Amino acid sequence: MSSFPREELEEMVTRWLQANRDAEKEGDWAKHLGAMYTEDAQYGWNIGPNQEFMANNRQEIIDLAIGYQMKGFEDWEYPYHDIIIDEKRGTVIGFWKQRAPAKRADGTVYEVAGIGGSWFEYGGNFQWRWQRDFFDLGNTKALFFEMAGDGALSPTVKKKIQTHAHNKLLPGHRYLRPEPDTLTKARNFMAMVKIAATGR
């Protein structure tokens, strides 16, 4: 990690936030954000205990992270509500929300609860060289279950869920270690059922 002038990082954040607003307005994240990564940039996030997404260069970020992964979420909003800049390390942390375009019957917005955000490493020339997203996976799943029940998920998102449910990795996803076999999964499940029923 390298230090950079505070003013340069603040300008990078200003440009990044505007690019995000433009992307939300047009529903095209690759168009507005793609050039804001270095050629060798990495962008990833965790998906539970044994799976993560990772794009390993600018083109993969354009094609997968802000391309394929954003399909079905073109109308969602991801407003930033706090930014922390560390010019000595050349890093930025931005906290954001995830809001669906649909609303509940009572008029409230579908929004993922908990903390969501991105951790960036700056690479100079107003480009990120590394980004790692974090979000509350439990609350994300809960919201998607609710939206599914209300018929509020887009067809593209439904197709992705179907693919994932059939144990097929989505583009850019990878396992962190070998998946446990069916017998091990069954054993673990029954152990949890026993604990829930008896406390032992």
Per the structure block, which two tokens stand in for 156? 């593209």
The range of the structural domain enclosing residue 62 comes to: 6-198
Chunked into runs of 10 residues, the chain (200 residues) has average pLDDT values of: 89 98 95 97 93 96 97 94 96 97 95 96 97 95 96 95 88 89 86 90
Within-domain flag for 1: no
Give pTM, 2 decimals.
0.88
Tokens, residue 99: 């809001």
Q: Count the domains in the chain.
A: 1
pLDDT at 189: 83
Q: Is residue 20 part of a domain?
A: yes
9 vs 124: CA distance, rounded Å? 9
What pLDDT is recorded for position 194?
87
Compute and round to an integer the Cα radius of gyration of the chain: 19
In this structure, the chain runs to a length of: 200
The domain spanning residue 106 has which CATH number? 3.10.450.50
The pLDDT of residue 1: 63
Question: What confidence score (pLDDT) does residue 168 get?
Answer: 87
